[in-house]
């Protein structure tokens, strides 16, 4: 299927420019000290923190730059991308989260004021068992993976088609586990709802873990932040808007114009056309409705005034009837440049 690369070109341009600004060779971290008085000790501490974070983001975390590059591309297209910062053992991990795998209430305006956030985890069996072994989750019986029972969204289907993926392999089903960051009243029958992280297996509703989500010494019980929300362009509500919303209509119009031009170009190069069957007296005779087919010359009746010794006056090639429209070409070029 032929499509104009307007969206892809705009996304790649944003990705390359943002990558150059946000991830320079020297590293993305810059140390800043609050206050006016900076002595040598504070300056040295700032330099150490800056150097460590640059090392961590460029060398220590192997998948960070690749994930950040992917984030920028999807951010420009979709408008909103989420990242989760967490520990995996003793290592710091930063994971990209697809929009469909991060669920918030409809009325949410921002992450800071969100009363409930659900991260949909899709894990293979060995990953789930590793969490059992490390006592991160409470052990339970595992049946077959339940990802295949969940209907795919239109976004997932299109992404799979673009990337050439297929979800027809039953042996690759993953387990769907919801990690809910919410408020609940669980300890000592207290009426106050406190921030917790509740993890459960979707297929069996089995609770795998319940964890406190505030610093133990914090008397205000402020919830710890694990997620970061990136917006391409802020919009009214929780999500941002991207190039699909901004340029989607123009991309469709340009694609339609391109396909029309290609059809007319193919028809204009098609061997065949119309040829005079006989010379009649006055006007077009009979029914001259005819279907054009490649490599065929369809006979039509022409008036007697067309009778001439010049054979070129009795033949109309398809190339003269279906030549590409210069106006349509100019319109497509204007849409692409705008």
pLDDT, one tens digit per residue, over 255-278 is: 777 777 777 777 666 666 656 555
Tell me, what's the pLDDT at 279? Answer: 43
Q: What residue has token string 């150097």? A: 51
Alpha-helical segments (H) within the chain: 6-22, 40-55, 64-78, 125-133, 154-163, 243-268, 318-321, 326-337
Among 139-153, 161-175, 200-214, name the one with the lowest average pLDDT.
161-175
pTM, two decimals, is: 0.70
Contact 198, 216 (CB under 8 A): no
Q: What angle do CA 207, 208, 214 make, to 5 degrees?
A: 95
Q: Which residues, 6 or more positions from 237, have their beta carbon under 8 angstroms from its beta carbon?
A: 109
Tell me, what's the pLDDT at 33? Answer: 83
Give residue-wise pLDDT tens across range 156-168. 666 666 555 666 6
pLDDT > 70? residue 230: yes
Task: Look up residue 136 and give its DSSP letter.
Answer: S
Measured CA to CA, the distance from residue 252 to residue 2 in angstroms comes to 11
Give residue-wise pLDDT tens across range 65-106. 888 999 999 999 889 999 998 887 777 888 999 888 999 998
Residue 42 CA from chain centroid, whole number: 43
Tell me, what's the pLDDT at 72? Answer: 92
Contact 304, 250 (CB under 8 A): no
Tell me, what's the pLDDT at 280? Answer: 42
Among 103-112, 151-160, 273-282, name the one with the lowest average pLDDT.
273-282
Q: Is the dihedral of CA 260, 262, 264, 270 positive or negative?
A: negative
pLDDT > 50? residue 285: no
pLDDT > 70? residue 146: no
- DSSP characters over 155-220: HHHHHHHHHT-----GGG--EEEEEEEEEE--STT-SS-EEEEEEEETTTTEEEEEEE-B-TT-TT
Among 21-30, 179-188, 314-323, name the one with the lowest average pLDDT.
314-323
Q: Measure the CA dihedral 52/58/59/60, to 10°.
A: 60
Exposure class string for 149-184: b at 16+ Cβ within 10 A, else e: eeeeeeeeeeeeeeeeeeeeeeeebbbbbbbbbbee
Beta bridge partners of 274: 298, 316
pLDDT > 70? residue 136: yes
Share of the chain above pLDDT 90, in %: 20
Exposure class string for 265-297: b at 16+ Cβ within 10 A, else e: eebeebebbbebeeebeeeebeeeeeeeeeeeb
Measured CA to CA, the distance from residue 242 to residue 202 in angstroms comes to 31
Give residue-wise pLDDT tens across range 1-35. 667 777 888 889 899 999 888 888 888 888 888 77
Share of the chain above pLDDT 70, in %: 69
Q: Pick the residue with more confidence: 137 or 333?
A: 137
């Amino acid at each position: 299927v032929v499509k104009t690369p307007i969206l892809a070109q705009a996304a790649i341009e944003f990705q390359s420019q943002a990558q150059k600004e946000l991830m320079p060779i020297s590293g993305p971290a810059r140390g800043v000290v609050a206050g006016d008085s900076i002595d040598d000790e504070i300056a040295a501490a700032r330099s150490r923190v800056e150097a460590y974070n640059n090392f961590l983001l460029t060398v220590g975390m192997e998948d960070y730059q690749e994930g950040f590059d992917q984030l920028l591309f999807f951010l420009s297209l979709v408008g909103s991308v989420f990242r989760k910062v967490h520990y995996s053992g003793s290592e710091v991990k930063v994971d990209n989260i697809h929009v469909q795998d991060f669920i918030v209430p409809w009325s949410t305006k921002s992450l800071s004021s969100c009363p409930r956030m659900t991260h949909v985890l899709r894990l293979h069996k060995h990953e789930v068992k590793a969490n059992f072994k490390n006592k991160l989750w409470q052990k339970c019986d595992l049946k077959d993976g339940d990802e295949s029972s969940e209907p795919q969204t239109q976004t997932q289907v299109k992404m799979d088609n673009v990337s050439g993926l297929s979800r027809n392999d039953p042996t690759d089903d993953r387990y769907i586990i919801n990690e809910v960051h919410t408020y609940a009243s669980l300890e000592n029958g207290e009426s106050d709802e406190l921030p917790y992280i509740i993890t459960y297996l979707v297929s069996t509703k089995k609770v795998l873990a319940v964890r406190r989500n505030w610093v133990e010494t914090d008397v205000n019980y402020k919830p710890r932040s694990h997620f970061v929300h990136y917006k391409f362009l802020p919009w009214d509500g929780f999500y941002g808007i991207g190039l699909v919303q901004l340029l989607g209509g123009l991309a469709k119009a340009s694609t339609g114009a391109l396909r029309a031009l290609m059809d007319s170009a193919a028809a204009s190069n098609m061997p065949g056309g119309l040829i005079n069957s006989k010379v009649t007296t006055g006007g077009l005779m009979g029914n001259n409705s005819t279907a054009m087919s490649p490599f065929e010359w369809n006979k039509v009746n022409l008036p007697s005034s067309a009778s001439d010794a010049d054979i070129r006056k009795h033949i109309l090639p398809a190339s003269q009837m279906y030549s590409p429209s210069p106006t349509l070409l100019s319109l497509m070029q204007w849409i692409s440049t705008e």
